[in-house]
Chains A and B, each alone.
Chain A
Amino acid sequence: MTLTPVITEHWDSPDLYTLDGYRRFGGYRALEKALKLDPDAIITTVKDSGLRGRGGAGFPTGLKWSFVPQNDGKPHYLVVNADESEPGACKDIPIMMANPHSLVEGVIITSFAIRASQAFIYIRGEVPNALRKVASAVAEARRAGLIGKNILGSGFDLEIVVHAGAGAYICGEETALLDSLEGLRGQPRLKPPFPAVAGLYASPTVINNVETICNIPYIVDRGVDWFRQFGTEKSPGFKVWAVSGHVNNPGIFEAPLGITMRELLGYAGGVRGDGKVKFWLPGGSSVPLLTAEHLDLPLTYEEMAAAGTMLGTGTPMIFDETVSVVKAVTRWLEFYKHESCGKCTPCREGTFWITGVLETFEHGHGKESDLELLVSACNQISGRSFCALGDAAATPFPAALKYFRDEFVAATESPVDEKFDPVASYIYAGAATR
């Protein structure tokens, strides 16, 4: 499958991040077109395109928009979730740095469609470069009359606020993000009511991922048929794949959904030092891992689900044979333990417990009976925590155990570092051997 750069098409143009640079390649043409349409027609177009959310859950975007009650007399809000914090995920931040205007244009069109006159872009606070790029793009767009009162003479008004998060993974959860945006402590909200009905400031709110929003101008400009030529029936379109880990040429590759990991590996230069894939994750640490036997599966929402994992953020992480799966899983759990917001018991206590037990394995004094205990503890979290963070924390271990039980059993005898030299797994170690 060939690469199909759309969002990333002109990233090699040095001034793409400016308004002029973006306009040179047809930027804001979609906005002009959209503002002449009926907002409902845009919602229908997006629905028909079959675009699914790129934040990880893959919820149909047009359907989400259609949940917003119309003529309810309340203000509507669009909130862009740009709090990209998922371990291994690095796609939204590059998009915002390279092509921030595609996000801004998408925000304006989406706001018009859902009748929001106020939009927020909630950007992970640790990435000031992305924050600056988006803020200056918003300022430029504002000066050009693309944001503000009566945009392009359409009568549509919109203000966009760029907001910096304060460093909590949980604020990528959409309702925690809303609380954080309102100035509260970022913890997930009880649902119902759902954000589409009572979100930001108790008003109807659409929350979309950066990449999702960046798709919108292209769909509006080029049409449903054009969009649907990429991908599959259930996973139409293209995806900004961010491949990382033990590959020779890690980076961003835009290709249709349905491309296989093996193909992406080819674009990424293959596993470093001609090594082999030991395990890989399709999209962030929150999805169950796969192994070399899954490299030929099409990367679509449905195929990944069938394989017992999820497409997630579509940012594959590749691990070669230098990596101890025990150690990798322990690191992920340490992350979830650190980032658990504390609100609900299963996630708060479960991540604490599981991490502690995993660390015993890492140090070589795990008990084999604890493997069943860990599975049981994961089951006590999965589906019972308040939000998806808990579910995510419960995914790495069971999948790792399924494919690499022997490694865990071995870790009852000796510390994993004895078998897996940690230095060998470092990226620079690989470079040195090459």
Chain B
Amino acid sequence: MSENFTTDVVPMVSVTIDGVVIEVPKGTLAIRAAELIGIEIPRFCDHPLLEPVAACRACLIEVEGMPKPQPACAQVVNDGMTIRTQESSEVAKDAQEGVMEFLLINHPLDCPVCDKGGECPLQNQSMSAGRPESRFEGEKRIFEKPINVSAQILLDRERCVSCARCTRFAEQIAGDPMIELLERGANQQVGVADEQPFDSYFSGNTIQICPVGALTSTSYRFRSRPFDLVSVPSTCEHCASGCSLRTDYRRGEITRRLAWDSPEVNEEWNCDKGRFGFTYLTDGRITTPLVRENGELRPASWPEAIDVAARGLAAAGSSTGVLTGGRLTQEDAYGYAKFARAILGTDNIDFRARATSSEETQYLRSAIAGTPVTVTYDALEKAPFVLLVAFEPEDESPMIFLRLRKAKTTVVSLGAVATRGLKKMGGTLLATKPGQEALVLRALPDHVKAALAQPGAVILVGERIAASAGGPSALAEVAAQTGASVAWVPRRAGERGALDVGALAGLLPGGRPITNDDARNEVAGVWGVDADALPRVIGLSGENIINAGSRENLRAFVIAGVDPVDLPDPEVTAVALARTAFIVSLDHHHSEFTQAADVVLPVALVTEKAGTFIDWEGRPRPFGQVFKDALAMSDATILGMLAKALGKQAGVWDGAGLRRELAELGQWTGVREELPSTGSAPLMSDAFRLASWRELLDAGVMQDGEPFLAATARPVIALISEAAAKQLGSPETITVGGPTGSVTLPVEIGDVIDDVVFLPMHSTGCSIYRDLGARIGSAVDVSAGGAA
């Protein structure tokens, strides 16, 4: 891929800073050039990812030939330029000290009670670049404090130094200019419009880049001092974007999470779900193993629980289905993949807790599993053209959204809705009814085909392609015809890793086909088991596992981290749980699965173990253990105990050992399964079709316990086109009915194709599987009115 791009050779210029001559790329700002020689010029408004604004004036330096001191954050260095910073210039030093003194005039010196105290750029820089004492003796201007700019973000206007980082972030990076500077002079303040709070998915970043304590979060405010926190580098467990985070804890409790620097992935940003959605970790933990006795779950010791589980699984043998969910680390998912094949002797395994299809399964095994990284964030930034298929980046992978916004590449979305997110990326809609993606993919307009044929063009396909008959096949055809690179963007953090390590029927680690003798031999060798003991026939996958359970075709389930509401058919799921003889559930929180289980084994939280998520790129995102003295065991460790109790052994089960095995296995280089080529899209009647996806902030269990975050979610509405609304008599609410029920929601008119209604997939007050019994692309009844 990289050879498709010419490397831009940036000419170098020579600049003298405080007597030191350095060469920097042309266009470098003085403040950055000074950093290169270890000189830190004070700054507030400056941020390397925002456009220079030169407003705070803290970074004034002397530039030879210029009569006035210049702001280093906006001063591009030219060849031969001579710059003197505070290190060698009295003018610069005096200017910086003066600005620092000014900044403190109206800043309340409430550092002892301020969240930022201890990690505050204003505090630090007034120590390093300010005069020891202020000469100001007057009265400071006073504001009511704090005010809510959103449910989650609080603004203390007295502390604000008007650097405009937050407002510039909102406009330039997030594309949500919902906060703006108001008023003027010393009364200048950040504000929002009436009734229009700062409900941006990325609002939390403004707190982090605020150089003072003006912006705080409802959830962290007054909860801790930074110097009392222990910080651990982490990887976000919410989606497949792979954000680097910093997890801060105190006395065994997470107090906050921050976006951490990862220029190749999330740059310095993250989304609000990743930042604020961690309360679920601590509330309502399962603390001990549970076993069912006389129909009731009761606490049990580990030896007893393992013993009960092992006996039940031994009885079921290979008539077991393993559902791993998409939330596991690569190590744990690999543990299940190994446990299913080598210990249980079954290939009935799937990580996908959602609508699936055999066509998708084949596509993933053939084109994605265990393949090297081809499309990266950087490639997206440089791509001349990106086609989105069944994928809404702002909701489903927010860092891709930010990167595509930054890239200003041409974006076309194959979907039914021209979303706000698409508009913010400057994208256009290639309209299709949900479920008919294959029809459009097979008859792409010439300009899209030509665009896809450009070097570096990318197709990003979301998980929803699974439910679109013919979609994966058509996708493979388009990629072959145009040469565009395809990246599959799953929603959950553990999905790509699970796929790569073989937590999917028909697949052994590294993309190895289970039907291939060489592949089985390689894996058996590393696991130290007899290759003949591994299944050689492709097992059940996806919904077929649940369906088999509901027909009493399976005798046991091993279920990890799956929320049953994610499964597309709640009734079948309930039947399967009722009819399956033996269920082992490995989880840290209760769900319908744990309630139906015969044995519940509590597992470690993501904060209680080290591990690796593989992001959508295929890039490993390893993270460390936050709580080092946690007693909880990882899924894989527990699976190892079960294996031992079952009297079987297959390699090792500890994290480091599992990683070694995976490294030893590497990627499959042999023959892969063929791409699917048979699917075709169904013809559709004129009925309204349902478009839906999971909004970033919704009723997902990993957002539990964070009401302030939930309050910034998008309103739950039914989105229809203007024409459709007119046809219905311009109602304020509509009722959307499916096979098992209906929901009535306020109507919003948007850029939707006429015979489509969009509903959020799983939000409070609207969950399409549970409430409608409908799926994406289902025909639904739409009528005006009803009680919302």
User: A: which residues have CB within 8 A of B?
Assistant: 168, 170, 185, 190, 337-346, 348-353, 356-357, 373, 376, 379-380, 383-386
Contacts and interface: CB of A to CB of B under 8 A. Distances in A.
Contacts of B780: none
Interface string B185-200: 1111000000000000
Nearest to A391: B68
A359 to B, nearest CB: 9
A384 B138 contact: no
A342 B102 contact: no
Contact of B184 (A170, A190, A373): A170
Interface centre among A340, A379, A380 (most CB of B within 10 A): A380
A380 B131 CA distance: 13
The list of the 6 closest CB pairs from A to B, nearest first, reads A342-B188, A380-B98, A349-B102, A356-B138, A340-B185, A383-B68
A91 B60 CA distance: 37
Contact of A341 (B52, B139, B180, B185): B185
Contact of B136 (A343, A351, A353, A379): A353
Contact of B69 (A338, A342, A344, A384): A384
Interface string B32-72: 00000000000000000000111111101000000111000
A349 B180 contact: no
Contacts, number: 95
Nearest to B58: A345
B138 A342 contact: no
B53 A338 contact: no
A384 B91 CA distance: 11
Given A345-B57, A345-B161, A383-B68, A168 B135 contact: no
Interface centre among A338, A339, A342, A385 (most CB of B within 10 A): A342
Interface in B163-217: 180-181, 183-188
26 contacts: A170-B184, A190-B52, A190-B53, A190-B54, A190-B74, A337-B185, A337-B186, A340-B185, A341-B184, A341-B188, A342-B185, A344-B55, A345-B55, A345-B57, A345-B162, A348-B102, A348-B162, A349-B103, A349-B186, A350-B102, A352-B185, A352-B186, A353-B138, A356-B139, A384-B60, A386-B57
Contact of B185 (A185, A348, A380, A386): A348
Contact of B181 (A185, A190, A384, A386): A185
Given A373-B135, A380-B94, 6 more contacts: A168-B184, A341-B188, A348-B188, A349-B105, A380-B99, A384-B60
A223 B67 CA distance: 37
Contacts of B68: 383-384
**Secondary structure class of chain A's binding surface, majority of residues:** helix
Interface centre among A338, A348, A379 (most CB of B within 10 A): A348
B99 A342 contact: no
A294 B385 CA distance: 69
A50 to B, nearest CB: 24
Contacts of A350: 102
A337 B60 CA distance: 22
B106 interface: yes
B57 A346 contact: yes
Given A353-B138, A356-B139, A339 B184 contact: yes
Contacts of B396: none
Contacts of B423: none
A190 B71 CA distance: 11
B101 interface: yes
B644 interface: no
Given A345-B58, A384-B60, A353 B102 contact: yes
B138 A343 contact: no
B325 to A, nearest CB: 48
B95 interface: yes
B186 A342 contact: yes
Interface in B60-88: 60, 67-69, 74
A311 to B, nearest CB: 20
Interface string B316-342: 000000000000000000000000000
B55 A352 contact: no
B-side interface size class: 35 or more
A384 B52 CA distance: 16
A357 B186 contact: no
B628 interface: no
Contacts of A346: 57, 98-99, 102
Given A353-B136, A356-B139, A383-B68, A342 B183 contact: yes
B56 A339 contact: no
B141 interface: yes
A338 B99 CA distance: 20
Contacts of A385: 57
A357 B162 contact: no
A350 B106 CA distance: 10
Contacts of A342: 162, 181, 183-188
A383 B185 contact: no
B67 A383 contact: yes
A319 B119 CA distance: 53
Given A352-B186, A353-B136, A383-B69, A345 B103 contact: yes
A351 B185 CA distance: 8
Contacts of A338: 185
A339 B57 CA distance: 19
A357 B58 CA distance: 23
A15 B632 CA distance: 93
A385 B68 CA distance: 10
Contacts of A341: 184-185, 188
Contacts of A383: 67-69
Contacts of A379: 98
A384 B102 CA distance: 12
Nearest to A170: B184
Contacts of A376: 135
B657 to A, nearest CB: 56
Interface in B98-146: 98-99, 101-103, 105-106, 135-136, 138-139, 141
A384 B95 contact: yes
Contacts of B69: 383-384
Nearest to B162: A342
B159 to A, nearest CB: 14
Interface centre among B74, B95, B135 (most CB of A within 10 A): B135
Nearest to A372: B135
Contacts of A380: 94-95, 98-99, 101-102
B65 to A, nearest CB: 15
Contacts of A340: 184-186
Interface string B660-680: 000000000000000000000
Contacts of A170: 184
Contacts of B57: 344-346, 384-386
Contacts of A357: 138
A412 B187 CA distance: 29
Contacts of A386: 54-55, 57
A385 B58 CA distance: 11
A171 to B, nearest CB: 11
Contacts of B60: 384
Contact of B106 (A344, A349, A373, A384): A349
B130 to A, nearest CB: 12
A170 B185 CA distance: 11
Nearest to A360: B138
Interface in B471-520: none
A367 to B, nearest CB: 9
A22 to B, nearest CB: 39
A376 to B, nearest CB: 8
Interface in B684-705: none
A348 B185 CA distance: 5
Contacts of B52: 190
B78 to A, nearest CB: 12
A168 B182 CA distance: 13
A383 B180 CA distance: 27
A168 B187 CA distance: 14
Nearest to A353: B105
A233 B136 CA distance: 47
